[in-house]
Amino acid sequence: MNREAVQMPPAEGVQRGGLRGRSLGALLLTGALLGAALAQTGAPGAAPSPAPPASSAQTPATGPAGGGAQPGEFGEPLPGEGGPGEGAPAPATSSSPADEPTVHERAGQCVEGSEQSCMSLTRQTEDGEERRILVIRTGTTDDTGIYTVCGPQDEDPEDAPNIGVFSESGPGGIRIVIDKNVIQVPLATVTQRPAGEGEQGSDGRVEASDGRARLLDAAPEGQTDRLARCGVEVTPRPTPSAVKVTQGRTRLTGKSLVYDEADGKARIDGPIAFTRADQDDPLSGESARIEIDVDTEATVLVGNVVLRSEGGRVSKAGRVEYDDEASTARLFASEDQPAESVQGGDVLRVTRGVILYDLEKNEVYADAGEGGTISGEFQDEESGEPGAPSAPVPDGNR
């Protein structure tokens, strides 16, 4: 197939776009699949490819005569596997409030029949566990954004990755679901390699920030950039607070996000600012960046982390593992940067080890670990005067 755009009448609720590449069938893959982990619904420029059910069955791709997938190529359903079973969430509509979970988020996978475009990335951990990352465009019209996939061109190698482009200026933006975190951005690109032999799917690389993308009328001559050769213009604009992260009651903002399959970590560059809603003792703070480890499902604030409770506790560390659901923050100490927590005249400091911060109770507990020390100053409750610096405090004490 040459570089000309594939054009077909769009299905209801699906925006028209510009898929280009060697084979349309190669572009319409489904997420978490045996052979390729690209899930999409409502792909522009072609009839929509249903997203996979929990069984990860492939579904047939369709395209213009001579250009679509043939039976058994890229997507004949596996024996005994079909669409979502009874009880599957109803398709999402464009009238859903921007802050409500999409149908894909509720199902934990891309769901057939939704108007909202969705791509699923599947990662296999060393322990054989499956982790899934969802990238969802919440808008459904050409007026607010695009979703398109750029496949390998004639001059590209057969194993060249697909590149998905998501752009949405509407209030829902692009939603990226990673573990307990729901991330909202205006622009995201997903570079995804074909799944290897024996793999149930693949992940890839996700880059997200403020910015926009648009389809060009024609691919500019002489371009070497893959997206430009596909007739897609992407303009990222990393901007403070443009990346919005929600984890339970916690809201965080950052500048840009990069997820890479090389180590399975999503990194959000800061400055990071965050707040945690709480009726008794709201929390706020900042850090240099965020790291989300997909394999271990851990969210870590990194670099000069400061946590401030409205009740007056101030806690600091170089790294803090944060879990809103468990209402805990683990402050990791190092020789270069001790972990400490201060409440009024009480000071708890650890030079090596961890301070466990119970966010609900506003209490801290220390574990120095092997070779570490715990020290502190504790105010005399009767006199209100600070006492002398204490000797090392036994492990596990406040």
Domains in the chain, ordered, with CATH? 1-79+100-237 (no CATH), 244-377 (2.60.450.10)
pLDDT of residue 125: 85
Burial of residue 157 (number of CB atoms within 10 Å: 0-12, 13-18, 19+): exposed
Q: What are the CA-CA distances from residue 254 to residues 208, 239, 246, 364 (Å)?
A: 11, 8, 12, 27
pLDDT of residue 126: 84
Q: pLDDT tens digit string along 70-122?
A: 222 222 222 222 333 333 334 333 344 677 899 999 999 999 888 999 999 98
List of the chain residues with pLDDT < 70: 1-97, 196, 198-201, 368-398
pLDDT of residue 157: 85
pLDDT of residue 377: 57
pLDDT of residue 323: 96
pLDDT of residue 91: 39
pLDDT of residue 118: 94
Integer Cα distance of 254 and 269 in angstroms = 6
pLDDT of residue 223: 83
pLDDT of residue 100: 86
